[in-house]
């Protein structure tokens, strides 16, 4: 059985769907502080805080866990700069609690939800796994520290792990079963779609003076269903018995600016979507675009939904059903 922490969240719920479609038995562990009960796609559910070692251990007693996919974390860049202690506590201490239980229980396979934030402000694009790791915000620092923890656990205790460094997860399940629903919402595409639905008056472009062609940040948007398929492949690679502690970028390989995303959303929705300029957000790099060549070569990963228009279209279908009044 596969334990998915944070499995009631945006990415975790999509991964649970993919795992079950591939025939895996899944148990979801989530404290529902930011996840949703209606996005739990497994009959096996444990509600607990990842920092509660005793509660996590009880989940391993209740279910025959063979491997773990770890998503439970705080993940807001701006919030991490205002509340660093909370991010070190949940992300780092929570992961330590999980790893301690896994070690005691003899579970030695973990797929970790890392982030492109570990790279900070890149010196070149696209970013490869060999590039310098210099996060510019607390969120990225916690992800990088956890990757270091996994390496040490591999060396000392034989824990095998794959860290997947996502770029901008976006879109929604093509069948409409899951999608983004954050509170607060900070991701660009759902914020833009909120404007299209009339839930917000306008979208704010944070920074129009970056060294990019149109002055707005450039990001690599990867469909959440493609992310989910990469997790299944990473899990398979770990359960095939090969000892490893590795990291892979997951992205589209193409960058789109904030202004380009807004323009695509206007075409998809047929709405005007007013936009205004705002100041830069602390810790936001100008450009983040991934090279995913290693994941394609070593995991056999292929993107099924690479186009920005398709990403926005699936998000729009979900958004309309979820939030229309």
The residues assigned a catalytic role are 139
Nearest CA to 254 out of 116, 115, 125 is that of 125
Residue 236 to residue 163: CA distance in whole angstroms = 14
Nearest CA to 12 out of 97, 72, 68 is that of 72
**What CA–CA distances, in Å, run from 247 to 69, 86, 147, 164, 231?**
14, 25, 8, 6, 12
Is there a cis peptide before residue 207, judged by omega within 30 degrees of 0?
no
- As a dihedral over the C-alpha atoms of residue 39, residue 45, residue 51, residue 57, rounded to 10 degrees, the angle is -160
């Amino acid at each position: 059985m596969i334990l998915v922490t944070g499995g009631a969240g945006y990415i975790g719920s999509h991964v649970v769907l993919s795992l079950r479609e591939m025939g895996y038995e899944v148990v979801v562990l989530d404290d529902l502080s930011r996840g949703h009960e209606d996005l739990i796609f497994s009959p096996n559910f444990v509600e607990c805080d990842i920092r509660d070692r005793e509660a996590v251990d009880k989940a391993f007693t209740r279910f025959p866990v063979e491997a773990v996919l770890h998503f439970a974390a705080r993940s807001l860049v701006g919030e991490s700069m205002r509340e660093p202690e909370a991010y070190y506590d949940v992300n780092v201490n929570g992961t330590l609690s999980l790893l301690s239980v896994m070690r005691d229980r003899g579970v030695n396979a973990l797929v970790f939800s890392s982030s492109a934030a570990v790279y900070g402000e890149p010196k070149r694009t696209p970013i490869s796994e060999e590039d310098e790791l210099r996060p510019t915000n607390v969120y990225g620092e916690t992800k990088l520290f956890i990757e270091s923890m996994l390496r040490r656990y591999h060396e000392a205790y034989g824990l095998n792990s794959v860290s997947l460094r996502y770029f901008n997860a976006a879109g929604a399940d093509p069948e409409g079963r899951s999608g983004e629903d954050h509170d607060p919402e900070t991701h660009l595409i759902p914020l833009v779609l909120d404007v299209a639905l009339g839930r917000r008056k306008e979208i704010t472009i944070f920074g129009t003076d970056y060294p990019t062609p149109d002055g707005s940040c450039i990001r690599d948007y990867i469909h959440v269903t493609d992310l989910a398929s990469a997790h299944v492949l990473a899990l398979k690679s770990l359960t095939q018995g090969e000892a490893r502690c590795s990291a892979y970028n997951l992205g589209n390989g193409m960058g789109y600016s904030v202004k380009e995303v807004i323009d695509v959303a206007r075409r998809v929705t047929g709405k005007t979507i007013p936009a205004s300029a705002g100041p830069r957000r602390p810790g936001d790099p100008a450009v983040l675009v991934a090279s995913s060549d290693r994941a394609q070569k070593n995991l056999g990963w292929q993107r099924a939904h690479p186009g920005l228009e398709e990403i926005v279209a699936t998000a729009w279908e979900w958004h309309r059903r979820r939030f229309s009044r």
